Amino acid sequence: MELIIKLPTIQVVSETQTKVSVPYIVENESKELWYLIESKYTSYLTADVADAYVVGFLLYAMERNLNIKSEIPLSERLYFQLTKYLMPFLVSFNKHLHVINISANLVSKDYEAIHVGTGISCGVDSLSTIVYHGLEEKVEKNKIDTLTLLNTGYYGCAENNSENYRRYIQQSFDFAEKHHYNFLTVDSNLSNVMEYNFLSAHTYLTCSVLLLLQKYFSVYYYASGYTVNHFRVDFSDSANYDIFLLDCISTENLKFYSSCCVINRIGKIRMIAQYKDIFESLYVCTRGIVFNNCSHCEKCVRTMLALDSMKMIEELKQRFNYSIFKKYRNRYLNYMLRHKGNNPYYKEAFDCYKKNKIKIPFLAYFSIMPCTFERREMLRSFMNSTLGRWIRKKSFYRKFVSRIERIFKNYSRRN
């Protein structure tokens, strides 16, 4: 069985947008992969090489044991690294993947790109990268000048995920404009085509988009979620092995780095806090209310605990609801104590509390009430259980869900 990549077309769809359409055939069915980019970047497109598409399709094809055949050439270095290193590595620890054949004419081009980029979500990883390789970078050719926001699955895999994505664009654009960076955004149906869990595929999906712009980027910093000490052969999250993966999917023209992979989460937050105008943009929340950190979700909780462990109370007050943190501090500390053994972020926070001689209240060890995000996860797990699936099939399901939603809304208002 083959996945055949056909010749792409480039079409100007409006004054501001250009669409790259990539027809492909899988199991005798014709489909389309597309990328939507700002028209001012059209001249930087490298749609005539298959690098972007092969990296984007790789896991999809390996899982289905589909050989990839491309009617357009593939970068020689990328082909070498995929076939000799990445695919053998992946199949060595994931029995659901297969080594596949990649058939394409090989080329080695020099696009002479000069720009350096990273993503801008305003989270800890992206802001620390901007500080580390932007504000503090001494090597000019490696200094960030462009920030990106790419729709590659973080905003969901539903057909309407572009709506979620557009809600975040303004926040990212405002940051780039305020700090004098170029801003580049790309929309795509790549995550819908792949139908992959975002965590297991995010590095592949994001770099697929970037490989379409090899005439623009010479260096791109992919914000690391973990330190290099956390390197694990674990397919559940590509961040576990992205320091190896990013080198394998770099080309003759575009070098990917796992940025700040030598700095832990506590160190990243401390580094960001040194730059007040950067820290004021910190946004880690998963609740989807752009720019406002809810102070209830898991990412907010772990970031507040990190700040608390460093005695950065004023910084905590600046970006989070300190009243909520004070009210539920013991509950949040209890969550940290329960998870410091299997989550590096909470282990770092716990160690920082000890290092700074901040006593954890006795009551925190015995707090039995779950955090808000834990209750949501409990409900989600229940609804995916056998009983939960049975309930979903019944006529009273909608009433049940409506009642649960009202409970959560009332709880959120009170807190």
pLDDT digits (tens, 9 = 90+) for 235-250: 888 888 999 999 999 9
Tell whether the model's pLDDT for residue 409 goes beyond 70.
Answer: no
Instruction: Answer with the residue of higher pLDDT: 368 or 210.
Output: 210
pLDDT tens column, 6-24 = 999 999 999 899 999 999 9
Tell whether the model's pLDDT for residue 364 goes beyond 50.
Answer: yes
Helices 322-339 and 344-355: crossing angle in degrees, nearest 10, is: 110
pLDDT tens column, 89-109 = 999 989 999 999 999 999 999
Instruction: Answer with the residue of higher pLDDT: 368 or 47.
Output: 47
Looking at residue 378, what is its pLDDT? 74
Tell me if 303 sits within 8 A of 124, measured CB to CB.
yes
Tell whether the model's pLDDT for residue 175 goes beyond 80.
Answer: yes
Instruction: Answer with the residue of higher pLDDT: 27 or 23.
Output: 23
Tell whether the model's pLDDT for residue 297 goes beyond 90.
Answer: yes
Instruction: Answer with the residue of higher pLDDT: 232 or 117.
Output: 117
pTM to 2 decimal places: 0.89
CA distance 56 to 308: 40
Tell whether the model's pLDDT for residue 401 goes beyond 50.
Answer: yes
Structure tokens given for 333: 């500390």
Looking at residue 157, what is its pLDDT? 45
Tell whether the model's pLDDT for residue 27 goes beyond 90.
Answer: no
Looking at residue 155, what is its pLDDT? 54
Return all residues near 358 (Cβ < 8 A) that are at least 6 apart: 308, 309, 311
Burial class from Cβ neighbours inside 10 Å (0-12, 13-18, 19+) for residue 84 reads exposed
Structure tokens given for 392: 């979903």
CA distance 307 to 126: 17
Looking at residue 156, what is its pLDDT? 46
Residues facing residue 148 across a β-bridge: 119, 184
pLDDT tens column, 134-166 = 999 999 999 999 999 998 866 544 444 556 667
Tell whether the model's pLDDT for residue 169 goes beyond 70.
Answer: yes
Helices marked H in 15-72: 51-64
DSSP readout, 32-99? EEEEEEEGGGGGG--TTSSHHHHHHHHHHHHHHTPEEEESS-EEHHHHHHIIIIIHHHHHHH-TT---
Tell whether the model's pLDDT for residue 376 goes beyond 80.
Answer: no
Q: What is the amino acid identity at position 296?
A: H
Most confident of 285-289, 301-305, 393-397: 301-305
Tell me if 15 sits within 8 A of 39, measured CB to CB.
yes
Mean of pLDDT values over 341-362: 96
Mean of pLDDT values over 294-316: 97
Among 407, 127, 122, which Cα is nearest to 260's? 127
| pLDDT bucket at 286, cuts 50 / 70 / 90 | confident
| Chain-centre distance for alpha carbon 40 | 25
CA distance 366 to 363: 5
